[in-house]
Amino acid sequence: MASEVRVRFAPSPTGHLHIGGARSALFNYLFAKNQGGKFVLRIEDTDQARNVGQAKEKLLDSLKWLGVEWDESIDVGGEYGPYSSMERLDIYKKHIEQLLNEGKAYYCYMTEEELEAEREAQIARGEMPKYSGRDRDLTEEQRRAYEAKGIKPVVRFRVPEGQVIKIQDAVRGEVSFESDGIGDFVIARKDGVPMYNFAVVVDDHLMKISHVIRGEEHLSNTPRQVMLYEAFGWDVPTFAHASLILNPNRQKMSKRDESIIQFVEQYKELGYMPEAIVNFLALLGWSPVGEEEIFSLEELATQFSLERVSKAPAVFDTDKLAWMNNQYIKNADLDDVVALALPHLQKAGKLPESLSEEQAEWAKAVISLYQEQLHYGAEIVELTELFFKTEIQYNDEAQEVLNEEQVPGVLSGFLQELEGLDTWDAVSIKGAIKATQKATGQKGKKLFMPIRVATTGQTHGPELPSAIELIGKEIVTHRLRSLLN
């Protein structure tokens, strides 16, 4: 076993960074930081048919946005490179040949059609489908006959019979698998490119990975990988399989599940704060000491341990994430909140792409009214609707307020006070409300509610004098006159 802690995150470049992958990367990063070890980012791109252009760059960008940094990878190099599987084909080829020469692997010439027929027959007999081992002991003559027909073989690993593969998992304890239930599995495709289970073992060994920390869905791969380690006579790393992430309905999450936003890039586009996403993901299947829930990345690294990673499934609570992001927004610098929210107002066509100094100040003031309640940047569009329309359609609740008998007197008095103002700001507007109270004798809800509804169209909202200031004198007085008429 390597003395230095070395962990890795090895995504396939098949699309955007999924939240499950982001959690795995985070757990590896936190463990490496906690142990003073190294975090390696490796790209598993052997499944060429599923690879997507620019996916590598997007994966790296998403991790950088989260603040998860690596010590070795395709972009920074390192002494154990290359860090992309397809650049390591010569390394894999040498190790495949070693297993073939030692009789621990063999060529299999079964076609897809034959394999499918075999599988269907096993299912029909009520058996667990697995490769039958038909080509396990072919003679040289039989091999030449297949090759004469132009059949290209795969390479299969010869699974030892009658063995129990025991894994000491740092999260799940002892887990065992029977080799007889696995069947000889493919380690190299017909074109010689290795399968995931083979490439990952060779890479993890040669890169001196000490701990393999990943999601529970990889647990079924582990016995195959352990058998490969043993076939080469290599030390087996410590495995740690974190719990599944369930959706809010406590069902296993799939990438087609629409109850959750599933990709890190989408959270970035919606205006979530990376610190909140990191904090939330860390608590999906790991529990800190004590009751505290808000942690910086540095604080998480100080506390993180595999002993506190849970076996029980973690539920992705969308309300909890919204709450947590709101905590970060409330405590953020206003300029950072503006940077989060302003692009959404521009994208929605509420504000121009290029703002004058006056427009920028106005937008900042409007956004500041909602900093306390904002859950994510894109929410600002709906929240600030009242500032971007001249005419208001009063709903039933608002109309009920406006139908109260004292309303004409309150609105008339308030309009008169506003028209007499020399300065249009929140302080002066607050004074106008007080003067209206004095003149009409109305107070509390009887005073404030009609003014709020008439000027904003809403029965609740941000601090009223500030909102009225930002709507503007011309629009506010127009709204009051229209109602009184």
Model pLDDT, residue 379: 98
Model pLDDT, residue 249: 86
In whole angstroms, give the CA distance from residue 188 to residue 246: 33
Model pLDDT, residue 1: 46
- Tokens representing 202 are 């060779």
In whole angstroms, give the CA distance from residue 300 to residue 283: 10
- Tokens representing 432 are 């106008």
Strand partners, 242: 215
In whole angstroms, give the CA distance from residue 29 to residue 21: 12
> Cα 155 vs. chain centroid, distance in angstroms?
36
Q: Which residues are catalytic?
A: 255
Cβ–Cβ < 8 Å for 179, 160: yes
In whole angstroms, give the CA distance from residue 279 to residue 275: 6
| CB crowding 313-350: b at 16 or more within 10 Å, else e | bbbbbeeebeebbbebbeebeeeebbebbbbbbeeeeb
Exposed, middle or buried: residue 179 (CB in 10 Å: 0-12, 13-18, 19+)?
middle
**Per-residue pLDDT tens digits of the chain, which is 485 residues long:** 447 999 999 999 988 899 999 999 999 999 999 999 999 999 999 887 777 778 899 999 999 999 999 999 999 999 999 999 999 999 999 999 999 999 999 999 999 999 999 999 999 999 889 999 999 999 999 999 999 999 999 999 999 999 999 999 999 999 999 999 999 999 999 999 999 999 999 999 999 999 999 999 999 999 999 999 999 999 999 999 999 999 888 888 777 777 788 999 999 999 999 999 999 999 999 999 999 999 999 999 999 999 999 999 999 999 999 999 999 999 999 999 999 999 999 999 999 999 999 999 999 999 999 999 999 999 999 999 999 988 888 999 999 999 999 999 999 999 999 999 999 999 999 999 999 999 999 999 999 999 999 999 999 999 999 999 999 999 999 999 999 98
Cβ–Cβ < 8 Å for 197, 221: yes
The torsion defined by the Cα of 444, 445, 446 and 449, in degrees rounded to 10, comes to 130
What is the amino acid identity at position 23?
A: R
In whole angstroms, give the CA distance from residue 115 to residue 360: 66
Determine how many CB atoms are found less than 10 A away from the CB of residue 422: 5
Sign of CA dihedral 137, 138, 139, 143: negative
Its pTM surpasses 0.85: yes
